[in-house]
Amino acid sequence: MIEKTVKEMHDLVLKMQESINLDIEDIKAARNEKLLERNDEKQSMMDQIAALKQNLNGLLVEAIQNGEDVDKYREKVDSLEDELRTLYKLNAKLASIVLPIQQMYKEIVDELTAQSGGNIIELKA
């Protein structure tokens, strides 16, 4: 069961890495609609990874309590941790691209709001 959970997590992490790499390429190519199409899938993958992590921790604790030698899973868990580190770095790379763009839009909106006296859209009844 532990090996199955580690493999599921590993596969999801690799899929998430691929998705983030696609996001980076789509940002560079200004294909914003493609980014939005993947958002729900990425959120689902993140939720699954978090649930599997919790499950894996429980399985490992249970195995230890039952006297099982969990060192036999060390290599696979270490590989999973390496892939998670790679995912973290990719996510940071994506954020370094997206956050400046977000800040630029915020500054534009703030400037427009200041120029219009606090209202970007003027409603007339």
Task: Give tens-digit pLDDT for 84-110.
Answer: 999 999 999 988 888 777 777 777 777
- The C-alpha atoms of residue 99 and residue 17 are separated, in whole angstroms, by 19
Is 73 part of any domain? yes
- The C-alpha atoms of residue 122 and residue 112 are separated, in whole angstroms, by 12
Is 109 part of any domain? no
Domain of residue 65, residue span: 2-98
Is 38 part of any domain? yes
Domain count, the chain: 1
What is the pLDDT confidence band of residue 125, given thresholds at 50, 70 and 90?
A: very low
Residue 119: per-residue pLDDT:
59
Share of the chain above pLDDT 90, in %: 61
What are the angstrom distances between the C-alpha of 6 and each of 11, 104, 105?
9, 40, 40
Is 56 part of any domain? yes
- The C-alpha atoms of residue 98 and residue 93 are separated, in whole angstroms, by 9
Residue 17: per-residue pLDDT:
95
Is 13 part of any domain? yes
Is 70 part of any domain? yes
Residue 116: per-residue pLDDT:
65
Is 57 part of any domain? yes
